Amino acid sequence: MNVLRSLKAIGQPLSAFAAAAVLCAALPVAGMASPLKLHTNQEIVDDLLRPNDLDAKNPDAVFAAVFEQLAPKVTVYPTESYYYFTFQLGGINYAGNIRFDAGDQFDGKVHFAYANEYAYWRKPLEPVYKKMGPDDGVKVEQAGKFLYKITFKDKTVEFQLPDLSSVKPAPGMLGDGETYLGPIWDESGVQFFLVFNKPAKAFLYLLNETPKVDLYEPSQLSPAVTVGNRSGFAFYKDKLLNRQILIGDFIGHTMLNDYFDGPFDQLPDNYVQGTALLDSILEIEPGLKGENPDRYGADKTGEFRYGITSYKYYNRVSDLKPIADCAEKNADPAVYYKCFDATKANEEEEHSGGSSFPPAKPADGKPAETAPAAKDGK
């Protein structure tokens, strides 16, 4: 059903290990830390030419190679707890992740998945997935609320998840009838506040403007619409409250499942209070209650969950004009905030075969069949 999204996506990298497709070299500056990191073509080609007989189909061997390259302590920024990486092997660029799933993070195991990076001109290879644990010589332990340790072959790596418990919208940023569900740190580096507007029955992704990780430029569509120079995320300046609402994501990013495929795959799982997220989902889709989803909106199999893709996938910024027009002509909050929910429009595009909805993609974590909707985050 279209309201579900796959829980089995490979995703794209935020942190790459030393054998990654793109390596970073510090540019030396006498007497001070470098103001930037340099990425060179030489390093990419050198990595391609490096002899390697690693079996890419063997998850145990690949996990060992990945783990060997990790620093003693790493940071897992995305809020669905993916530690992303890339590597080149046999002329293929691979992307993968090590993940601590909020739904089973206390079972002493960790998810490990990788596949060739997506490209427009070919079909993706079948993802390789394995849940690693004691039977694989992998010890996973929780050392703190946001700290995990993995020990493998006498090496221990600490995985630090940022504590965003105190990250909340500024006073006056939330409207009447709105529930703040939690903070999002997307793999793009952009941060959001996930909010549910009950009168409009709509989820809103609000921009957390504190970290400056993108340049939002004015669009020709409307003075209220800006678009990220780096991310392609499009925002509408709320006319009723002081905040920016995510209204669009460039479809090319979503089709490639890259860093900028949207925050739908980085929900605030570690910060959601009780059943607040599920209660909000059921406000929109009460029929899901009979399927007994968990508090994250996932089904009984643990392979799919409700996809919160309320922003529109666009080919051109002009595709967002109906949203801007609707917002400009409506003042009633219940109608006005409904303007920003593009879920129905996305579904209509999917069913009609339109080009502005992402195709089904393999999912993070396990070999996927097809994803019935746009969520590919776990």
The model's pLDDT over 45-98, given as tens digits with 9 standing for 90+, comes to: 999 998 889 999 999 999 999 999 999 999 999 999 999 999 999 889 999 999
In angstroms, the Cα distances linking 251 to 35, 129, 190, 296, 358 are 32, 26, 17, 26, 6
Domain coordinates in residue numbering, the chain: 4-160, 178-352
Query: What pLDDT does 179 receive?
Result: 97
- How many Cβ atoms sit within 10 Å of the Cβ of residue 307? 25
Half-sphere exposure of 184 (CA within 13 A, CB side): 23
**Strand 244-250 relative to strand 312-314, pairing:** parallel
CA dihedral over 100, 308, 192, 231, signed as positive or negative: positive
pLDDT 10s digits, 235-271:
999 999 999 999 999 999 988 989 999 999 999 999 9
Report the mean per-residue pLDDT for the chain: 86
Query: In the predicted model, what is the mean pLDDT of residues 214-228?
Result: 97
DSSP-assigned states of every residue in 48-83: HHS-----TT-HHHHHHHHHHHS-SEEE--STT-EE
Residue 106 predicted with pLDDT over 60: yes
Q: For residue 352, name the pLDDT band (cuts at 50, 70, 90).
A: low
Choose between 189 and 357: higher pLDDT: 189
> Collapsing DSSP states into helix, strand and coil, what is residue 351?
helix
pTM: 0.85
C-alpha 98: how far from its chain's center? Answer: 14
- How many Cβ atoms sit within 10 Å of the Cβ of residue 211? 10
Choose between 75 and 352: higher pLDDT: 75
Residue 155 predicted with pLDDT over 70: yes
Q: What percent of the chain has pLDDT over 90?
A: 70
What does the alpha-carbon distance between residue 185 and residue 79 come to, in Å, rounded to a whole number? 5
Query: What pLDDT does 337 receive?
Result: 98
What does the alpha-carbon distance between residue 119 and residue 253 come to, in Å, rounded to a whole number? 11
What does the alpha-carbon distance between residue 92 and residue 152 come to, in Å, rounded to a whole number? 26
pLDDT 10s digits, 307-351:
999 999 999 999 999 999 999 999 999 999 999 999 877 776 665
Query: What pLDDT does 329 receive?
Result: 96
Query: In the predicted model, what is the mean pLDDT of residues 128-134?
Result: 96
